[in-house]
Amino acid sequence: MSNVTRILESIQQGDPKAAEELLPLVYEELRRLAAAKMGSQAAGHTLQPTALVHEAWLRLAGPDAKFEGRTHFFASAAEAMRHILVDHARRKAAKRHGGGQQRVEFNEAGLAAPTNDDQILAVNDALDKLSLENKLGADLVKLRYFGGLTLAEAAQALGVSARTADNYWAHAKAWLIREMGKKAKG
């Protein structure tokens, strides 16, 4: 059992000091996830990786925090970072006049990293729709796109084989490309 798993169990048992022990153990990994996500943002982005990690930590370390282990914790962290980036993008879009959608390009290797707030919002809306049809596929995209996980890491986090994850990734990617194409035309 890793130290992270042991501390997560202590948190669930109500140990008030366990959260203080957890942060130093997971901080670098959370910082790596945030840096990977923020590295694809447009220059001059007002949210920095350290701020993203700290905001995610505040959301994760609340009094109702319950994690089934290390994998669940990092999946939750990726989801928290996604929500933070989406909330940040929505706040910025609301300030702009119009805040209209714009075409989102995808590269052949997979989903292109978002370069602006409008793209983050468009992908988030499409992911919400995908989640209604294919929750596992949507979760896989969230872990890869917003969490910066590799396909193997995302498969492990979701508890599926790499082959299954690859199939879900291909389907979800095709679905998102089709959905984003509809938005760009509409």
Residue 140 pLDDT more than 50?
yes
Q: Do residues 107 and 37 make contact, with C-beta atoms less than 8 angstroms apart? A: no
% of residues, the chain, pLDDT over 90: 14
Range of the domain at 53: 3-185
Residue 16 pLDDT more than 90?
no
Q: Looking at the whole model, is its pTM more than 0.75?
A: no
pLDDT at 110: 41
Q: Tell me which amino acid residue 121 is.
A: L
Q: How far apart are CA 150 and CA 145, in angstroms?
A: 9
Query: How do residues 30-66 score in pLDDT, each as one tens digit?
Result: 888 888 777 666 666 667 888 888 888 888 877 677 7
Q: Please tell me what DSSP assigns to residue 50.
A: H
Q: How far apart are CA 135 and CA 38, in angstroms?
A: 25
Q: How far apart are CA 169 and CA 110, in angstroms?
A: 9
Residue 136 pLDDT more than 90?
yes
Residue 17 pLDDT more than 70?
yes
pLDDT at 78: 85
Number of domains in the chain: 1
% of residues, the chain, pLDDT over 70: 80
Q: Which one, of 17, 80, 16, lies nearest residue 51 by Cα?
A: 80
Question: To the nearest whole number, what is the mean pLDDT of the chain?
Answer: 78
The highest-confidence range among 25-39, 95-109, 153-167, by mean pLDDT, is: 153-167
pLDDT at 185: 64
Residue 106 pLDDT more than 70?
no
